[in-house]
Structure 1
Amino acid sequence: MDFNAIRISGSVHLCVPRKTLLVMKITTFLLLMTIMTVSATSLAQKISLSEKNASLEQVLNKIRQQSGYDFVYSEDLFLNSSPITVNIKDATLDEALKVSLKNQALDFKIENGAVVFKVKEASFFDKIKTALAIPITVSGKVTDTTGIPLVGATIINKTDGKAILTNDKGEFILTAQNGDQITTSFIGYQPYVFTVTNNLPFQNIVLHASLNKLTEVIISTGYQQLSREKTTGSFVVIDSALLNRKVGTNVLDRLDGITSGLLFNKNRVASQSEFNIRGRSTINGEDKPLIVVDNFPYEGNLDNINPNDIKSINILKDAAAAAIWGTRAGNGVVVITTFKGNYNAKQVINFNANVTIGKKPDLYQAPWFSSSDWIGVEKFLYDQGAYTDAINSGYLPVSAAVDIMDQGAKKMISSADSLKQINALKNYDVRKDMLKYLYRLSVNQQYAFNVNGGGDRNKYFVSVGYDRNLASKMTDSYNRFNLTANNSYRFLKDKLELTTGLLFTSSSYKSGNTYSPQSPYDRLADENGNALAVQNNLRSGYVDTVGKGNLLDWHYRPLDENYANSKSNLTSYIINAGLNYNILPGFSASLLYQYQKQSTVGEVLNNADSYTARDLVNSLSSIDYSTGAVSRVVPVGGIFNSRIEQLTSNYGRFQLNYNKSIGADHSLSAIGGVEVRDNFAESISQNLYGYDESTRVNSNSAINFNNDYALLYGGSTRISAGQESSYLTDRYVSYFANATYAYKSRYTLSLSARKDESNLFGVKSNQKGVPLWSAGFGWDISKEAFYDFSWLPYLKLRGSYGYTGNVSKTISAYLTANVIGTNIYGPTYSGIINPPNPSLKWEKNKIINLGLDFSSKSGVISGSIEPYIKDGVDLFGTSPLAGQTGVLSFQGNFAQTSTKGLDVTINTINLNGRFKWYSTFLFSTIRDKVAKYTASENTNGAIVTFPFDNPIVGNSYFSLYAYKWAGLDGNGNPQVYFDGSPSSDFSSISNSLNRSNIVRVGSAVPTTFGSLRNTFSYGSLALSFNITYRLNYYFRRTSLESTVYGPLGFQNNIDFANRWMKSGDELKTSVPSLLYPDDGSRQIYTSSDILIEKADNIRLQDIRLEWNLKKLTPLTKYFSALQLYAYLNNVGYIWKANKLGLDPDNPNPTITNTSIPLTISFGIKATL
């Protein structure tokens, strides 16, 4: 409502420059003097107006305008007012107000030039009547239109003025009298009013969003649900609508580019997780964010979860938000909440189906030599004698072209035949056969069906999902079946609620061998499509003759191997149950339990006809050439590898919850409890030889796995039993508490504490448990009396400070070791991973976060600005030990990091008529450095080659290092600056410890990133697209190396034509000459900064088009919602900083690692 001049509740503070502030002060003073002058003449004015069935707000607004008085009132005071008809002329202010408020439950008082409105006090008779009346218990639940509980909604009895807030489930209980008016209100939603009657049923209240108000957001931490107004931490909330804007099988793919602070590592470096929240928080510890599903940590594969079952995802980024999760929150927390039903709600059926089609991989993206050019290189190498040893061995492989050259040189074939055969090879390109026989368009199908609803005593949500994915590689496929069932039941007059949940997943993944060409002119099939043999690990001429027909066929035909020989079947189920008992209004106790079990059975079967099985049988055979008899170590049959992995988790939690308003000005939300969890993971694997898949019989008993067996072509080897087993048990006991206090909905304080204890840590009892805590504040500046910026009605400042933790399951306070294998005498032997460390502690991250939330009038511009500082202390790092200890280094709490960053979110309503245009701009920037690292100094060569294994104090963990390029010398040799002068001394350069001889060129990951998402709608059509940007990072591109003269050198022809070939070329090229044989010196060039490229890019990530058919066709009368949609993903780059056209997400593609192709999806969504 817009008629008020002064509000008791309001919104936010604005930071402005000093000069602007001075102008504002002068302007305010002049306006104030003007207002005082006008008011002096207007206070005595008479009031005249005539209104019929007008709202009370409209009438009072006109009275205010004519009187010149300020009106002071509570924002929800007029929610229950009824329409009025007035006809007054030349009335005083007092007379006009009395007429207007007649038959309204309101009163007023005029004082100091202002009118103060309040609820009319009950008369003495009414008070006696109320005292004698029998109270009626009123209970209910408040949700939004999607079923999400509205936590902290205000329930006010307009008759007696008493008010309460809904709890963390959106529920409330109060007592009232027959005929009382109860109003339910929530910021950003239209209020709802109902009248109390005898035998009033449970109120299932659904509030509808108000377009001209700031939408309220519910935060879920996994322990409680809070209104954003009550939070002090850094949260991002992704609702189901935004999550389902994208199309895909897994959840993570849908999060990319839609929230600030969350970066997906597309061109992964080091051992990065798939994504991180506000940068890396560790050096050697676990770097994956914690995933929480329906209040409990999720230990399984996130691909198991059906995205269509997810109602919301909350990203917890700072200590106030995440510290409640203690030692697992150091990398941030992702809280996933699945859909639940609603009490007293009609049954709703939802269906979603889509198909996604993807292009074949671009095999021509890899920088290959053409067949003709590569044969020229092979001719050069043949003339240099590069293949002499292989040719003379009789069995080592050489390419078809080299074999023809050798036969021609030895006069085994004529020169004409040699030339003819060579020219034929020049016309072949194996990539054509690969695209024809090994790849296809990918096709992913997804189907999701759910039904939900509820009665007075129960609510339910049941869903079924099925995904069928055919990958672009013909042998690969993925199928997944999901079943989700969430139920709730109420007992004991709604005081006790029982919830149950089931998440079941069954999936299977099939794949085949990956063919890697040995030459660019391989042929996979003849003109009739029949499989052809290609060169592999043995020469064709050798396998043709060595067995004289007594060995198994030893040729390798890729098309005969083009089937799915690897299978992985996963079964996962999560069963949870919870009890919540409302002890008193606003005070409850809950008991939760969850059991999770995931089993993965992996099988790789190379049957008796496979090349792998035939090769092993033949390689370990011996032949009596006098008789032709063959003796075999490995019996004829298949090779079967099996691996079974089991994960079992038990969680239990007891929690007390308090959520209540105390009077009109105070509210308190608090939780406290204890949690126990037990995780057990084990795996076992083995190889079976001579395997018959029909009888499942094997011949392992005939093999001695400790023996060295002679190979038919020379040398010896052992046969791997493949027997591995491992298990890991984690046990934790945790104590936690969290409280949030709000005063007048204006000032908010929060405290959080948690203590974790684990069996991994406990050598010293004082370090067994690590207390982690946080404190935060919130100040809704816009609700202050002095705040009067109508164009910015909401402004809130918040801040937090605290600690989160992190663990590593690879180290312990105890001695840890791993089994390496068996020695020549048979017994197994082990290596020490880490010596005992009784002082080992969990890692800790100290986080300081500030936030400024704002919204302009009608929400035209809204958003948040959040600077933060994150310091990692007691991080796991390596420290050297004296050699006489038997261990050169060990892992302990020896490292520290420091990170500073900024997250910005801006939402705008650009057009809001029939044609609508909304935008969301996301901006994040991160600067990190290693503050402490005690490992022994390594060489410059190691740092340049493996920078993330050798962090340098003062620089970012993700720093890229290189030698400073100094050009080519007169002989085409690469030079870099060494001790200030150009040098080609590779040994001295790479072994140097002088850090001035290397340069830090920048970060290997984006330090600035974000997106701009635009949504347009007109009538039943909606179009949206998302543009992402990733800035301030670099990559090292590949270039010509002497390895081009190696076995797979044809796969890298970058800069081959630009290489130094004659004196003077050093003036026009930076590509060195090629050496044969290679002496390793060319690594100076490939490790120099001349090959460092900017990775900055702007990308059109996706486009979505929707057509809502609800009122357009006769068929839609059977649906409450019907939508057709199309979605394009990985559309393409708008701009790239590098001038070479390289893909920054995959700058060095290979034949088996090409860029992600464009996909297009079509789908339908329906609601019955």
Structure 2
Amino acid sequence: MKLIGNAPAGRGELLSLLIWKIMRLTILLLIVALHLSAKTYSQYITIKKENLTIKYVLGEIKNQTGYSFIADNTLLENNMVRHLELKNVTMREALDACFNGLPYTYSIEDHLIVIRRTPRTIFPSLPLEMLAASIIRGRITDESGKALAGVSVRVEGRAMGTITNENGEFTLTGVAENAVLTIGSVGYETRRIKPEGKTFLNISLKTKTNLLESVSVVSTGYQTISKERATGSFDVISKSQLEKPAVNIAQRLIGTTAGMQAKLDVDGNPTFEIRGKTSLYASAAPLVVVDGFPLQGDFNSVNPNDIESITILKDAAAASIWGARSANGVIVVTTKKSARGVPLRVEVNAFTRIGSKFDLDYVNPLASSAETVEYEKLTFNRWGAQVNSGDLVSNYGKQWSQASIALSENYLGYLSNADRDAVLEKLKTQDNRSQISKHLLANPLDQQYNLTLYGGTQRMSNVLSLLFGKKQSNFKGTEANNYLFNYRTNASVFKWLDFNATAMVQYNDARNNGVSLSDIQGLSPYDMLLNPDGSYTNISQYYWPILTRSVPMNKFPYADWSYNPIQEVANRDITAKQLNARIQAGLTFRLMKGLSFDSKIQYELFNTFNRGLYNDQTFYVRSRVNTAASWNQTTGVITPNLSKGSILTQSRSKTESYNLRNQLNFNRRFGKQHEINVIAGSEITNFVSQTFGNPTTYGYNDQTLTLGTFPNGPGGTFFPIKNWLGNNQTFAYSNTFTYLTDRYFSLYANGAYTFANKYTVSGSYRTDASNLITDDPQYRYAPFWSAGLAWQIQKERFMSGISWIDWLNVRLTYGFNGNVDRSTAFRPLISTTATPDLYTQDFKASVSSYGNPTLRWEKTGTWNIGADYALFNNQLHGKVDVYNKMGRDLIAVLSIPAVNGTTSQRLNNAEMNNRGIELTVGTNLRIKGNDIVWRGDVNFAYNRNKITKLFVANYAASTLYSGGSGAYVEGKNANTLWSFDYAGVYNKQPYVKGAGKDKYDFTGWTPGDGRDYMLDMGTQVAPYTLGMVNSFKLYDFDVSFIVTGKFGHVFNRMSFNYPVLWGSRVLPNNKLGEVMKGDPMKIVPLPQNDDEPKFYFWDRFYPYMSYLAENASHIRMQEVNVTYNLKRRLASALHIGGLQLYAQGNDLFTILANNTGEDPEYPLGGMKPQPKFTFGLKLTL
């Protein structure tokens, strides 16, 4: 024999040989034992002995037939058989001989021999069927409701038991009333149960906590693949993570997957990017698939309590089956299904999540009231500001602050110096933050109540879930109610036909009456909302003194011209109602062994109804009606042009899609060495989106349903109507419509061959056609394909001596995914007006796009090398992936000769690469048996993005600093931050550095190419990401936390907002002191010339200085969760299946690498998530 390995010669080689022989002998003995235990009732029995106990005889029968027995211990020990000579007799003949002359009888059921004392009665013995009370049946499932086969069910203290069949079912006969059942299976915690008179038991087993939370299969949306034979790169979210409370299931993905960056908005809705940016203009969001079909809506249409599993497909072999929509990766969601033949099971999940009000000093980082007033005094009539002439027309539409009005009124001679100073001093003492917080802001609150029912018959399974969610936003008056109904059924119609169906109906009722952040940011820090007596203040939207002097306000339709945000919120009703539905249905035909055919269809309908009703207590109505009136300033006559009363706005949108798929499946094992898994199918998708806008209704009464008219017509060229300032105006009276359609046709196939359960070769092919792509077949039917290899090294013979390696799998894949940019077309696009010209009665048109005649799918080629491992009895596990994503035929704006009619056009001619590595390490340590267990997972990823091909002749500096699509530069990261290099102040003018030693001031655009003036400060998307998910089982408590980190990127922090021209409120931010005390050679100072004519141009420079670039690295404490699990014996005493009480904290704190205190993902001036705390329970009945 030749041994392959690295064992040393001599003693080590002999030891390896000895171990190999022992293993062979063990396997041989195991085969013999299995063979003996598989003997059936038809076998013959031979016994020849004297003076035997009944126990011995029954033991011999068990050894020779494999049947177990149930009997009283007294019978077994106290009864003897004097002489027994049996040769090749049947089991029934042997039993008859054994009990001959004894007061006992027997029955044979389900591989059990049940022995009972013959009843002492004058009546004949009852048949076994009449002894129902002693028969216990049941069904055993895992925590998800999946049936478990081969589970051992034993009666403690008795030599009796059985195992479950393929449906998880078992039957025990002759069980005493006080019996205790022991249920156990490999990989699951053993349970002890008292039937307590029940004749049918539903039993759920929990996975042992010291084992890996392993994944037996991986779902791609089209098929499920055994993880051992999956060649692609994928991640599966753990079941424990999915079961945590979440308003949106996407929240459960944060920090769990290497290479998937996530960012949450203030409401907790995340956006994802997997393995970097793959397109310059198309969406970077991954495709989301729910139960095999792409999700047209968002995650809010999926009940987070219904999720069974989530799989992240990352490389070409994993995701290429989705073709032209998979370059950004795929998130596959599978919902829960009930097992068949189980009685009703009820789950109730309810929680409340409350958060802190947002920090006003962060979202509105203004200087103090005193600093603001002093600053307004400093800037009054300086730096090129237009001096107030005091007339109405020049001041209309300009929102003057109270301090600037006092200064201007003093300048115009209407206010004395003393009165001016008194006004300013009073304003210095006022601070509106407490009133804003009390009257406009709210603590965000989420409440969710979910009821799920599981049940079914032997041929059908059903799941019904009902969810109600109530959401209060950060602003008072903005809230929503969400109602979600889901039903799923699976039925076995015939042995060869299965039917499945899913229905989802969602109704969302949102009220958006609250203010917006921009409303708050438009207030000066001294603008109070309420007077001391509680009445509304007037935060005028006009220059109020000029209005009172020049306008006969009492003669207009509404004499009240005041504005107050609290009053606005209280007197408007802005709603958005959504009614959504999703229906899936499918048939599965089993044609022969291993071969089946699926036919599935999905239909989705999303309707949104928007309605805004503003009564005439709102400034919106009063201002609209008043300013629309015609005012003859000579005669003083005012003619209303709009009816008084409420204003009503209405619109609706409708999105409708269907997806039809037919698929052939072949899964077959040939002998012990070969396994083939193949699917092939076709798919048709149609997507239509429409919007309908109604004209604004004036003079509306919601009680009587009456509306006003245009007293003088809607206006227009032939019948002009003047507004209050004498300008022509027109009122819209026609509807608006939009229509968008996408169609796809696809052919696909995927196959895998596995040899010796160790080596797997996989391949996939898909071609997509769409109305978005050119009609030239050369480009329209571009193929997407992949190929992969997998090698389970731990199953090799040379690994047999390495006991500390439990699993080692190596993967290699290469293939192409696709993407689509909907912003361009293969033919020139003509944009036409919706209504004809009033003079010519013809429609006007213009060229909106010159077209891309070779428009084709964007392609991303990816190679991936990966390894999965589990070590030290599964106590350490993880994976490593190295990849290179090569984007080709990417659509980009390229420079072309002007002879084409334009100097730029979107064409498939750019290329971009993403290279990276992903590491995942996890552990499962039993510190104190099953009482104290630590499970931890850490993932780390690095991604480097680079545009490798892009022709743009020239870049304006403004294009670069604006970022986004205009800032793409060949050889650079697609997320580069561009900044000016500040040169200091010369001759009282700030300068930036140019090419060589050139310097340019702020008075005009920089000439030439912007790259000569701007610096590459680094990428704005983190190349390094970290996720840590740790959980601890401490007796009846589970404690877990999630930490995320992003490193190696930069962001542009907030600059001081240098003063603008008159006509808007002067609101200096809290960076004022930085500028006042700063070195003018290091930071842009305030203008040093009192008369600075080009000061209005400064905002093209000062927000984009290199000294504003900061380190964006940070670490977040994303989540802490504590769960109490009620002991099973207490749950049984309460007659419930289980109870969990939990508390959770989210967005608890962030550690920043910069010293500014500014969060790089939520910059100053915007809302960032505040700490939130959740309390809830999960009850199983």
**Which stretches in structure 2 are left out of the alignment for 5+ residues?**
39-59, 67-87, 91-109, 111-137, 152-164, 169-183, 192-199
- What pairs up with 1:697-776 in 2 under 5 angstroms? 697-699=706-708, 703-704=713-714, 706-707=716-717, 709-713=721-725, 715-720=727-732, 723-776=735-788
Deviations 1:728-753 (A, max 9, x none): 12222211111111111100111111
Report the CA distance shift for 1:459/1:550 in structure 2 as closer, same or farther (over 3 A).
same
Structure 2 length-normalised TM: 0.81
Report the CA distance shift for 1:1093/1:544 in structure 2 as closer, same or farther (over 3 A).
same
Q: Secondary structure at the match of 2:433?
A: helix
Match of 1:11 in 2: none
- Does residue 290 (structure 1) correspond to residue 287 (structure 2)? The answer is yes
Task: Select the residue among 356, 378, 385 that pairs with 1:359.
Answer: 356
- What pairs up with 1:20-169 in 2 under 5 angstroms? 28-29=7-8, 32-36=9-13, 71=25, 73=27, 144-147=142-145
CA deviation after TM superposition for structure 1 residue 278, in Å: 1.1
Report the CA distance shift for 1:687/1:1084 in structure 2 as closer, same or farther (over 3 A).
same
CA deviation after TM superposition for structure 1 residue 154, in Å: 12
Report the CA distance shift for 1:1055/1:145 in structure 2 as closer, same or farther (over 3 A).
closer
Report the CA distance shift for 1:423/1:821 in structure 2 as closer, same or farther (over 3 A).
farther
How far apart are the structure 1 equivalents of 2:625 and 2:1106?
49
CA deviation after TM superposition for structure 1 residue 594, in Å: 1.2
Match of 1:959 in 2: 976
Match of 1:159 in 2: none
Report the CA distance shift for 1:975/1:487 in structure 2 as closer, same or farther (over 3 A).
same
CA deviation after TM superposition for structure 1 residue 1047, in Å: 5.5
- Does residue 1160 (structure 1) correspond to residue 1173 (structure 2)? The answer is yes
Q: Is the 8 A contact 2:824 2:852 kept in 1?
A: no
Q: Secondary structure at the match of 1:991?
A: coil
Match of 2:1143 in 1: 1126
Match of 2:121 in 1: none
Q: Is the 8 A contact 2:629 2:724 kept in 1?
A: yes
- What pairs up with 1:1073-1152 in 2 under 5 angstroms? 1073=1087, 1076-1077=1092-1093, 1078-1081=1095-1098, 1083-1111=1100-1128, 1117-1133=1134-1150, 1135-1149=1151-1165
Q: Secondary structure at the match of 2:642?
A: coil
Q: Is the 8 A contact 1:1038 1:1054 kept in 2?
A: no
- What pairs up with 1:921-940 in 2 under 5 angstroms? 921-940=938-957
Task: Tell me the C-alpha RMSD between the 2 structures.
Answer: 3.8
Match of 1:682 in 2: 690
How far apart are the structure 1 equivalents of 2:1172 and 2:440?
19
Q: Secondary structure at the match of 1:786?
A: helix
Deviations 1:203-232 (A, max 9, x none): 999895684467233211111111111100
Q: Which is higher, the Rg of structure 1 or of structure 2? A: 2
Report the CA distance shift for 1:603/1:791 in structure 2 as closer, same or farther (over 3 A).
same
Report the CA distance shift for 1:877/1:721 in structure 2 as closer, same or farther (over 3 A).
farther
Match of 2:422 in 1: 420
Q: Is the 8 A contact 1:972 1:1061 kept in 2?
A: no
- Does residue 559 (structure 1) correspond to residue 559 (structure 2)? The answer is no
Q: Secondary structure at the match of 2:311?
A: strand
Deviations 1:690-717 (A, max 9, x none): 1413344444665436456433235444
Which stretch shows the higher mean deviation, 471-480 or 912-921? 912-921
Q: Is the 8 A contact 2:391 2:546 kept in 1?
A: no
Match of 2:1050 in 1: 1034
Q: Is the 8 A contact 1:1035 1:1094 kept in 2?
A: yes
CA deviation after TM superposition for structure 1 residue 1086, in Å: 3.0
Deviations 1:305-361 (A, max 9, x none): 221111111111111111111111111111111111111223211110000111111
How far apart are the structure 1 equivalents of 2:488 and 2:1064?
55
- What pairs up with 1:119-518 in 2 under 5 angstroms? 144-147=142-145, 211-212=210-211, 215-245=214-244, 247-265=245-263, 274-365=271-362, 366-384=364-382, 386=385, 388-389=387-388, 391-393=390-392, 395-396=395-396, 397-409=399-411, 412-492=414-494, 494-512=495-513, 513-514=515-516, 515-516=519-520, 517-518=522-523
Q: Is the 8 A contact 1:404 1:418 kept in 2?
A: yes
Match of 1:531 in 2: 536
Match of 1:920 in 2: 937
How far apart are the structure 2 equivalents of 1:541 and 1:677?
61
Report the CA distance shift for 1:206/1:699 in structure 2 as closer, same or farther (over 3 A).
same
How far apart are the structure 2 equivalents of 1:143 and 1:573?
32
Q: For residue 1001 of structure 2, what is the amino acid of its counterpart?
A: D
Which stretch shows the higher mean deviation, 548-557 or 333-342? 548-557
CA deviation after TM superposition for structure 1 residue 38, in Å: 6.5
Q: Secondary structure at the match of 1:325?
A: helix
- Does residue 835 (structure 1) correspond to residue 850 (structure 2)? The answer is yes
How far apart are the structure 2 equivalents of 1:680 and 1:854?
46
CA deviation after TM superposition for structure 1 residue 389, in Å: 2.6
Report the CA distance shift for 1:1006/1:706 in structure 2 as closer, same or farther (over 3 A).
farther
Q: Secondary structure at the match of 2:344?
A: strand
Q: For residue 694 of structure 1, what is the amino acid of its counterpart?
A: Q
How far apart are the structure 1 equivalents of 2:1104 and 2:598?
59
- Does residue 876 (structure 1) correspond to residue 891 (structure 2)? The answer is yes
How far apart are the structure 1 equivalents of 2:789 and 2:904?
44
Which stretch shows the higher mean deviation, 435-444 or 508-517? 508-517
Q: Is the 8 A contact 2:261 2:274 kept in 1?
A: yes
CA deviation after TM superposition for structure 1 residue 801, in Å: 0.7
CA deviation after TM superposition for structure 1 residue 857, in Å: 1.9
CA deviation after TM superposition for structure 1 residue 793, in Å: 2.1
CA deviation after TM superposition for structure 1 residue 481, in Å: 0.4
How far apart are the structure 2 equivalents of 1:1061 and 1:902?
46
Which stretch shows the higher mean deviation, 508-517 or 1106-1115? 1106-1115
- Does residue 617 (structure 1) correspond to residue 619 (structure 2)? The answer is no
How far apart are the structure 2 equivalents of 1:951 and 1:1086?
20
CA deviation after TM superposition for structure 1 residue 7, in Å: 13
CA deviation after TM superposition for structure 1 residue 761, in Å: 2.4
Match of 2:134 in 1: none
How far apart are the structure 2 equivalents of 1:431 and 1:997?
41
Report the CA distance shift for 1:534/1:1164 in structure 2 as closer, same or farther (over 3 A).
same
Deviations 1:19-75 (A, max 9, x none): xxxxx95xx31xx422356699xx8xxxxxxxxxxxxxxxxxxxx79x977656399
Q: For residue 233 of structure 2, what is the amino acid of its counterpart?
A: S
Report the CA distance shift for 1:543/1:792 in structure 2 as closer, same or farther (over 3 A).
farther
- Does residue 1004 (structure 1) correspond to residue 1020 (structure 2)? The answer is yes
Report the CA distance shift for 1:418/1:450 in structure 2 as closer, same or farther (over 3 A).
same
Report the CA distance shift for 1:538/1:1051 in structure 2 as closer, same or farther (over 3 A).
closer
CA deviation after TM superposition for structure 1 residue 861, in Å: 0.9
CA deviation after TM superposition for structure 1 residue 772, in Å: 0.9
CA deviation after TM superposition for structure 1 residue 186, in Å: 12
**Which stretches in structure 1 are left out of the alignment for 5+ residues?**
9-23, 44-63, 85-98, 106-123, 127-135, 156-169, 174-184, 193-200
Which stretch shows the higher mean deviation, 947-956 or 896-905? 947-956
Match of 1:581 in 2: 589
Q: Secondary structure at the match of 1:1147?
A: coil
Report the CA distance shift for 1:1103/1:213 in structure 2 as closer, same or farther (over 3 A).
closer
Q: For residue 296 of structure 1, what is the amino acid of its counterpart?
A: F
Q: How many residues align?
A: 1030
Which stretch shows the higher mean deviation, 866-875 or 884-893? 884-893
Which stretch shows the higher mean deviation, 1083-1092 or 713-722? 713-722
Report the CA distance shift for 1:749/1:902 in structure 2 as closer, same or farther (over 3 A).
same
Percentage identity across aligned positions?
A: 26
Q: Is the 8 A contact 1:261 1:903 kept in 2?
A: yes
- Does residue 661 (structure 1) correspond to residue 661 (structure 2)? The answer is no
